[in-house]
Homo-oligomer: A and B are copies of this chain.
Amino acid sequence: MREFKRLTPYREALKMLLNDLKELNEIEEVLLSEALGRVLAEDIVSPIDSPPFNRSAVDGYALRAEDTFPAREYSPVELRVIDEIVAGEESKAKVEPGTAVKLMTGSKMPEGANAVLMQEMAERDGDIIRVLRPVAPGQNVAFAGEDVRKGEIILRRGQILRPQDLALLKSVGFKTVRVKRKPHVGIIVTGDELIEEFDEDALKAGKIMESNSIMLTGLVRQYFGQPVFYGVVPDKEEAIKSAIETARGECDLVLVTGGSAFGDRDFAHRFVELLFHGTTIKPGRPVGYGERVFIMSGYPVAVFAQFHLYVKHALAKLVGARNYEVRVRARLTERVSSQLGRHEFVKVWYENGEARPIKKKGSGIISSLVESNGYIEIPEDSEGHLEGETVEIVLY
């Protein structure tokens, strides 16, 4: 009878793992158009003030606000239009008392003017405009450096680049951006019972459709990685050893599913110097890690939990990613019990501020993952939560 001598507490194992991994040094310079979802490798400093000058925020008339203070609907102020420019042009005129310059959204403010009257608010008659209401100083003006200032850090390393981040980079003049290389993640699936091609007779005779590879491939892509699938390897000591060695030589991280327990054919852990093997997580207890290799369960639900509780954080560490999880709070619609001494991964459906625990149990039950969109973690010292309690959910 062999069992785990000791289950390493979840957080202790996570700390060992993250201490063992080093952030990747390699940086790639990519076009902005290729950078969506990539992880920023360094802080970005703006090379310019943006906007570079005071500019109009609307189409209208640049003027001296003071001139308009007496304006009333029954006694409009009249101003003389001394220049008209179009977008991208610059007026050389100086706005003196009693005058205005017609300009476009984005136009540089002419000398002397300190506010803009929206075009729709002016009554125009030849080169005269009538102003019906006072305009406040600064109104409809976007001031120099109001968006970002030259020398200011506008994006920080570890940012997962979103469309608006790319727009900001472009707006201050960048065409490319330096991001972390994607970690290569080898995926090795073991198990003689697994088949890749559908065969109903084989399934009825005890075979199982292999589904961990497609799931892990997707998860690795979601969390900054480049998956490399090494195929389904038979439960033979030599074959597994050789697959792990090859993958470890070619990848930053290796995920091996199946054979994490101590069954007669659980070989994988014999070829890796494990930092931990067996932790308090449930499901997924037999997870092991050492030398950049994860030994994972064969069951999809256990693999999924192991990925979110360990592998995801390892990938984030490799690229230095920040804010890679969406954590929300929700009211539990029913109680959830948890075994003391176990760090439980409880699947939930989150919607409208409420979290409904998924009742289907069993680590082979993939549909329980499909029916969920997030999880609660219940640490070792908790017996669970009551109906109506507010809990933190990690969305996936």
Contact = CB atoms under 8 A, between A and B. Distances in A.
A183 to B, nearest CB: 17
Contacts of A193: 87-88, 104, 106-107
A52 B203 contact: yes
B175 A214 contact: no
Given A170-B210, A209-B171, A214-B167, A154 B106 contact: no
A18 interface: no
Chain A: number of interface residues, binned into ranges: 35 or more
Nearest to A58: B261
A381 to B, nearest CB: 21
Contact of A362 (B146, B165, B221): B146
Contacts of A123: 1
Given A168-B211, A215-B167, A364 B162 contact: no
Contacts of A105: 261, 263, 298-299
Nearest to A119: B263
A367 interface: yes
Nearest to A393: B328
Nearest to A90: B206
A172 interface: yes
A218 B367 contact: no
A106 B206 contact: yes
Contact of A300 (B148, B167, B217): B167
A311 interface: no
B142 A364 contact: yes
Interface string A1-14: 11100000000000
A218 B48 contact: no
A124 B264 CA distance: 14
B52 A204 contact: yes
A57 interface: yes
Interface in A77-131: 86-90, 104-108, 119-124
A222 B87 contact: no
A141 to B, nearest CB: 10
Contact of A364 (B147, B174, B362, B395): B147
A32 interface: yes
Given A48-B200, A263-B104, A215 B367 contact: no
